[in-house]
């Protein structure tokens, strides 16, 4: 019997996202201040994890059940913060790891949040809009005991968007008997959303890439860029690189890989993708095998899709001088070592893709104050926070001769554990 091939992101190399996060913690634990060592175990244990049954009635009347998750990894520095993803391969291990990375990420950019994450194991492409709404509302009601504007604030993630956040906000508000805009971020502007949120993650990826390139005397103008993922993050990142004079020479998404050494026409490619739901057959580019994406000649590579995409099977093929992690956990620890040995700089996810949660923080603050900022103010504040955070990581990396990921984790873990130690234990 011929079994279907596994998706490209599932393989024997995929050792599980939570295990990868634990490995990253283990690598930096000895580098932390001795006063924090008694508290390191805090990072290895999520504060609370919830698995919920999400039953809905389909449009045809059939009742089906989906599995949902919400995890609080750590709330020592403030309420939980992290997205909700709808994907057929979501697992508890993945959500735990994503919540852990959120803990570190929020601490690295020094916003007053802890780490949280959620998801539903579902292929949203198979559901109608009304079925998605019923799924979202039922999931929100099931996790309502864990979320709240001063408890845990969800946001969009893979396959979720402003509309999903509006349904979540409305469902939570119905239970409270009042409108609670601050329970989620990434909302539509008409419901208290923030200007600049749509491009925030991609903007942060570009800002950190620009800062790293500046440190390495690598000009962006004329540079070649390869991007995995052409959704919200990948498209915004690509657009900003092109605006700075770079050429995006390769893009890969779930439908395939397209290349053009002279530079892809991003606007035309996006229109084609929206109209055809695929990159295959797009004009003025060549469709190549997915594995060939990793060997495309480029100066910058941006993995902005799923976890464990760069691994021991492809890390030695990468030609880029800088890898900027637009996705969460796209590089395995083994691949990290291979890239380091080859002199390739990796800008880690916990700083590279922190633009989204930074502007989510701005949205949360604006909702509480009912005073909203201009897009220029938001972009300026975002660039300042991201640049300052990256520079602190770079300085520690240079001073202590460690990779940027280790430096970021030392900074993030130290801030989390300092808060945990000062708070003490109750009772």
Is the CB of residue 332 less than 8 Å from the CB of residue 391? no
pLDDT of residue 15: 56
pLDDT of residue 277: 87
Strand partners, 67: 53
Q: pLDDT band for position 2 (50/70/90)?
A: very low
Q: Is the peptide bond before 332 cis (omega within 30 degrees of 0)?
A: no
pLDDT tens per residue across span 175-197: 999 999 999 999 999 999 999 99
Q: What is the mean pLDDT of the chain?
A: 94
Summarize the confidence of residues 356-372 as an average pLDDT.
Answer: 95
pLDDT of residue 1: 28
Alpha-carbon distances, residue 180 vs 46, 78, 183, 344 (angstroms): 27, 19, 6, 46
pLDDT tops 50 at residue 3: no
Residue tagged active-site, from 81, 105, 117, 187: 117
Q: Where in the chain is the domain with CATH 3.40.50.720?
A: 200-352
Please name the fold of domain 32-184: Rossmann fold (3.40.50)
Share of the chain above pLDDT 70, in %: 96
d(CA 395, CA 401): 10
pLDDT tops 80 at residue 285: yes
pLDDT tens per residue across span 6-20: 333 344 445 588 988
Summarize the confidence of residues 144-157 as an average pLDDT.
Answer: 97
pLDDT tops 50 at residue 408: yes
pLDDT of residue 59: 97
Spell out the long-range contacts of 157-160 with Cβ–Cβ below 8 A and sequence spacing 24 or more: 157/82, 157/83, 157/84, 157/85, 157/117, 157/119, 158/83, 158/85, 158/86, 158/87, 158/231, 158/306, 159/85, 159/86, 159/87, 159/124, 160/83, 160/84, 160/85, 160/86
pLDDT tops 80 at residue 391: yes
Q: Is 117 a catalytic residue?
A: yes
Helices (H), 144-289: 162-176, 200-215, 232-243, 266-276
pLDDT tens per residue across span 286-333: 999 999 999 999 999 999 998 889 999 999 999 999 999 999 999 999
pLDDT tens per residue across span 229-279: 998 899 999 999 999 999 999 999 988 999 999 999 999 999 999 999 899
Contacts of 280 (CB under 8 A, 6+ apart): 255, 256, 287
Q: Where in the chain is the domain with CATH 3.40.50.10860?
A: 32-184
Class of domain 200-352: alpha beta
pLDDT of residue 4: 38
pLDDT of residue 307: 87
The angle, 0 to 180 degrees and rounded to 10, between the axes of the packed helices 162-176 and 129-143 is 50
For tokens 């590279």, what's the residue? 352
pLDDT of residue 70: 98
Summarize the confidence of residues 375-392 as an average pLDDT.
Answer: 97
pLDDT of residue 16: 80
For tokens 């600049």, what's the residue? 196
pLDDT of residue 98: 95
pTM value is: 0.92
Share of the chain above pLDDT 90, in %: 91
pLDDT tens per residue across span 65-104: 999 999 999 999 999 999 999 999 999 999 999 999 999 9
């Amino acid at each position: 019997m011929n079994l279907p091939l596994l998706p490209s992101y599932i393989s024997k190399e995929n050792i599980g996202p939570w295990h990868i996060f634990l490995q990253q913690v283990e690598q930096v634990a000895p580098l932390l201040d001795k006063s924090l060592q008694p508290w390191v175990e805090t990072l290895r244990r999520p504060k609370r994890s919830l698995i919920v049954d999400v039953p809905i009635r389909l449009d045809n009347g059939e009742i089906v059940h989906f599995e949902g998750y919400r995890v609080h990894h750590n709330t020592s520095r403030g309420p939980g913060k992290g997205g909700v993803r709808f994907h057929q391969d979501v697992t508890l291990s993945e959500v735990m790891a994503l919540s852990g990375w959120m803990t570190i990420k929020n601490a690295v950019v020094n916003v007053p949040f802890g780490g949280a994450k959620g998801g539903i194991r579902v292929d949203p492409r198979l559901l109608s809009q009304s079925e998605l709404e019923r799924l979202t509302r039922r999931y929100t009601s099931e996790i309502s005991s864990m979320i709240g504007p001063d408890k845990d604030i969800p946001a969009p993630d893979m396959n979720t968007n402003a509309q999903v956040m509006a349904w979540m906000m409305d469902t939570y508000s119905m239970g409270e008997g009042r409108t609670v805009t601050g329970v989620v971020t990434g909302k539509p502007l008409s419901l208290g959303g923030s200007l600049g949120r749509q491009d925030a993650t991609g903007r942060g990826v570009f800002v950190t890439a620009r800062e790293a390139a500046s440190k390495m005397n690598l000009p962006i103008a004329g540079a070649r860029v390869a991007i995995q993922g052409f959704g919200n993050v990948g498209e915004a990142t690509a657009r900003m690189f092109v605006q700075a004079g770079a050429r995006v020479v390769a893009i890969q998404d779930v439908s395939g890989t397209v290349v053009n050494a002279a530079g892809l026409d991003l606007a035309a490619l996006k229109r084609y993708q929206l109209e055809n739901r695929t990159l295959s057959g797009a004009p003025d580019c060549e469709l190549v095998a997915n594995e060939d994406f990793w060997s495309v000649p480029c100066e910058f590579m941006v993995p902005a899709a799923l976890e464990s995409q760069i691994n021991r099977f492809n890390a030695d093929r990468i030609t880029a001088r800088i890898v900027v992690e637009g996705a969460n956990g796209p590089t395995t620890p083994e691949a990290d070592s291979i890239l380091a040995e080859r002199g390739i700089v990796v800008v880690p996810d916990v700083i590279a893709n922190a633009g989204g949660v930074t502007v989510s923080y701005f949205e949360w603050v604006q909702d509480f104050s009912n005073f909203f900022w201009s897009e220029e103010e938001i972009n300026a504040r975002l660039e300042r926070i991201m640049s300052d955070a990256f520079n602190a990581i770079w300085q520690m990396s240079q001073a202590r001769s460690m990779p940027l990921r280790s430096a970021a984790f030392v900074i993030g873990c130290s801030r989390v554990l300092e808060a945990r130690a000062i708070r003490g234990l109750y009772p």
